[in-house]
């Protein structure tokens, strides 16, 4: 099965903002996303829990479990890029998988310090973007 990757408008805004603040981080994140668009093997890894843990790959993939009780946990993920960590450019790519249409949608680019607390405006923005995609819940 072939998957696709798209950027939610919020993620585009995050990347534009990051280009002004941390251009190297923005460039590497964009490079990863562009590579994933043309590399199905890399894109397939976007839903392998702990892919790249312990620096065995260039990225580390994890589910965002804080949304588990809301039924989003199976389809809400984040990526850490190890090379950015090495340079203290600590950002995560947050994305969702819509299995009905085999599409990943990047919902945001967030700082590592972000903890996904439900009351945080960034969490609320990501959840609203996720919900707008109409992905089924698994409650």
pLDDT band at 42 (very low <50, low <70, confident <90, very high): very high
Query: For residue 58, is it within any domain?
Result: yes
105 in any annotated domain = yes
Instruction: Let me know if residue 42 belongs to a domain.
Output: yes
Q: Of the candidates 120, 88, 92, which has an alpha carbon nearest to the alpha carbon of residue 107?
A: 92
The rounded distance, in Å, linking the Cα atoms of 40 and 24 is: 25
Which pLDDT band holds residue 104 (cuts at 50, 70, 90)?
Answer: very high
The reply to whether 137 falls in a domain is: no
Rounded Cα gap, residues 49 and 55, in angstroms: 14
Domain span holding position 59 = 4-132
What integer best gives the mean pLDDT of the chain?
Answer: 92
**pLDDT of the residue at 5:** 98
The pLDDT of 31-46, averaged and rounded, is: 96
| 138 domain residue, yes or no | no
pLDDT value of position 20? 97
How many structural domains comprise the chain?
Answer: 1
Q: Is residue 43 part of a domain?
A: yes
Q: 12-16, 23-27, 61-65: lowest mean pLDDT where? A: 61-65
């Amino acid at each position: 099965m072939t998957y696709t990757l798209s950027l939610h408008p919020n993620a585009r805004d995050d990347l534009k903002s990051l280009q002004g603040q941390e251009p190297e981080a923005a460039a590497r994140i964009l490079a990863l996303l562009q590579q994933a668009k043309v590399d199905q093997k890399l894109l397939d890894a976007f839903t392998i829990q702990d892919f790249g843990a312990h620096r065995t790959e260039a990225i580390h993939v994890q589910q965002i479990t804080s949304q588990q009780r809301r039924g989003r946990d199976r389809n809400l993920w984040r990526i850490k890029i190890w090379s950015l960590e090495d340079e203290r450019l600590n950002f995560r790519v947050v994305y969702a998988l819509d299995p009905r249409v085999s599409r990943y949608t990047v919902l945001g680019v967030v700082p590592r310090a972000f903890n996904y607390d439900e009351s945080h405006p960034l969490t609320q923005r990501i959840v609203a973007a996720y919900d707008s995609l109409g992905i089924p819940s698994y409650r």
